[in-house]
């Protein structure tokens, strides 16, 4: 993908506005979370931080489902984070 800031969410995919390359939304989010973990090992992964990091208008409950499925959830409610 050219630039993560140039992608749009369309259904279950990310679509690059530059080259129209498509990536599965779920896989793309996991990849971005892994990048975030590498770049900011001391920061907590939360629905908000991932949403800010991705810079996309992803439905929060969708993001939450993806995080819960692929990462371990620690805590609950607004203070929950993932690892």
User: Which residues of this chain interact with Zn ion, rule CB under 5 A?
Assistant: 1-2, 16, 18-19, 21
**Which CB, 7 or 33, lies closer to Zn ion?**
7
Spatial contact of 29 and 51, defined as CB atoms under 8 Å apart: no
DSSP 43: S
Measured from the CB atom, the residue of 2 and 73 that comes closer to Zn ion is 2
Q: Among 59, 81, 55, 58, which Cα is nearest to 68's?
A: 81
Q: Is the CB of 21 or the CB of 43 nearer to Zn ion? A: 21
State which residue has the least CB distance to Zn ion: 16
Sign of CA dihedral 65, 69, 70, 75: positive
Q: Least separation, in Å, of the C-beta of 36 and Zn ion?
A: 20
């Amino acid at each position: 993908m050219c630039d993560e800031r140039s992608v749009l969410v369309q259904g279950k995919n990310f679509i690059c506005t530059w080259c129209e390359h498509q990536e599965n939304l779920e896989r793309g989010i996991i990849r971005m979370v892994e990048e975030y973990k590498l770049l900011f090992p001391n920061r907590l992964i939360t629905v908000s931080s991932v949403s800010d990091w991705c810079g996309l208008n992803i439905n929060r409950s969708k993001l939450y489902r993806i995080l819960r499925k692929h990462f371990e959830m620690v805590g609950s409610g607004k203070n929950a984070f993932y690892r």
